[in-house]
């Protein structure tokens, strides 16, 4: 943990929404998120729409939202890739707490204050939602459940990690931690989350696993087979870089 971090009542929180071709989803998501944050988060906050490579009207809709709401910002990133978007926004941010969530809000927003508490009150370095930790409530297809459990079992086998769910799109990190770890992360796409957590544990960062309620989005843009292949290749790359943690 990082007890020297300056996290106080003046803490500012960034909530990043990486988006690609989400012209229909972005407005209801942002408005729902604004309503939740206004009622449930005591810290200062801002929503950052990280538009990475969209070719529809996502940018125009997002720009309109920034005009309507002073605490909504838009950053346009020419190339696709969730990891690329998070790297840029987090590295350039001056806020003390940096977070992100998937645009479909599959993870119940009620868990967001727990992410913040883990960093601000408990002094963890990273907080991550988990669909596999005890107490999580998940609604998703058997295929995705099987692949997720298999993937995370492989991670634990290769690296003896303690976190339970590498891929949940619901995470928060301190600015200090982000500045330290992001230069070490090579992936710019979906494997970014896994690499963040594996490297984090390997260099001694403290990670808080938070069981969440999660509903599968039937309109998910993730292409399962290519993503699985890239993820496995990423794990093999990290396996040679970071040895197993001691039992």
pLDDT tens-digit series, residues 5-60: 456 557 899 999 999 999 999 999 999 999 999 999 999 999 999 999 999 999 99
Longest dimension (CA), the chain: 52
Dihedral angle of Cα 46, 52, 58, 63, to the nearest 10 degrees: 40
Per-residue pLDDT, averaged over 100-112, amounts to: 97
Residues designated as active site? 193
pLDDT tens-digit series, residues 208-229: 999 999 998 766 566 677 888 8
| Domain parsing of the chain, residue ranges | 12-241
Q: Name the pTM for this structure.
A: 0.91
Residue of 11 and 2 predicted with greater confidence: 11
Pair type for strands 207-211 and 126-130: parallel
Instruction: Measure the CA–CA gap between 142 and 118, rounded to whole angstroms.
Output: 31
Ordered alpha helix ranges (H), the chain: 26-40, 58-68, 82-92, 112-120, 142-159, 175-181, 192-202, 224-241
Contact 116, 41 (CB under 8 A): yes
Specify the 3-state DSSP secondary structure of 186.
Answer: coil
Supply the DSSP symbol for 170: E
pLDDT at position 2: 47
Please, what is the average pLDDT of the chain? 92
pLDDT tens-digit series, residues 117-132: 999 999 999 999 999 9
12-241: CATH number: 3.90.550.10
């Amino acid at each position: 943990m990082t007890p020297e971090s300056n996290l106080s009542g003046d803490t500012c929180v960034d909530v990043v929404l990486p988006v690609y071709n989400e012209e229909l989803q972005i407005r209801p998501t942002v408005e729902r998120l604004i309503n939740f944050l206004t009622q449930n988060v005591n810290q200062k906050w801002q929503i950052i729409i990280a538009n990475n490579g969209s070719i529809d009207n996502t940018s125009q809709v997002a720009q309109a939202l920034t005009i309507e709401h002073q605490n909504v910002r838009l950053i346009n990133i020419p190339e696709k890739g969730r990891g690329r978007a998070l790297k840029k926004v987090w590295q350039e941010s001056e806020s003390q707490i940096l977070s992100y969530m998937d645009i479909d809000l599959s993870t119940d927003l009620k868990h967001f204050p727990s992410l913040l508490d883990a960093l601000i009150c408990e002094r963890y370095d990273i907080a991550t939602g988990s669909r596999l930790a005890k107490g999580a409530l998940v609604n998703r297809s058997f295929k995705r459940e099987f692949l997720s459990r298999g993937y995370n079992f492989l991670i634990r086998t290769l690296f003896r990690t303690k976190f339970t769910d590498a891929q949940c799109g619901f995470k928060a990190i301190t600015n200090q931690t982000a500045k330290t770890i992001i230069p070490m992360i090579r992936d710019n796409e979906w494997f970014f989350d896994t690499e963040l957590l594996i490297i984090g544990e390997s260099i001694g960062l403290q990670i808080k696993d938070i069981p969440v309620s999660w509903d599968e989005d039937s309109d998910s843009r993730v292409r399962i087979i290519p993503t699985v292949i890239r993820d496995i290749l990423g794990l093999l790359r990290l396996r040679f870089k970071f040895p197993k943690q001691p039992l």
